[in-house]
Amino acid sequence: MLEWLSANWVNIVIIAAVIALVVLAIVSMARDKKAGKSSCGCSCSGCALADKCHSVAKAKKP
């Protein structure tokens, strides 16, 4: 087991770093969604589907 770890430690570190980056991306996307930010990163003024993305927020306004 120790031989396998010493032979593959570089792969293990790289895979762990990739997994950490994916987790950070998912957490960031979840926080943005919870904060009501756009998922595409651009403004909604020129978007053809702006009414679909924010229809819930528009329905809540009196």
pLDDT of amino acid 23: 98
23-59 per-position pLDDT tens digit: 999 999 888 888 877 666 666 666 777 677 655 555 5
Answer whether 53's CB lies under 8 Å from 38's CB.
yes
pLDDT of amino acid 4: 92
User: Rounded CA gap, 11 and 14, in Å?
Assistant: 5
pLDDT of amino acid 9: 95
Nearest to 36 by CA among 22, 55, 62, 17: 55
9-25 per-position pLDDT tens digit: 999 999 999 999 999 99
pLDDT of amino acid 34: 84
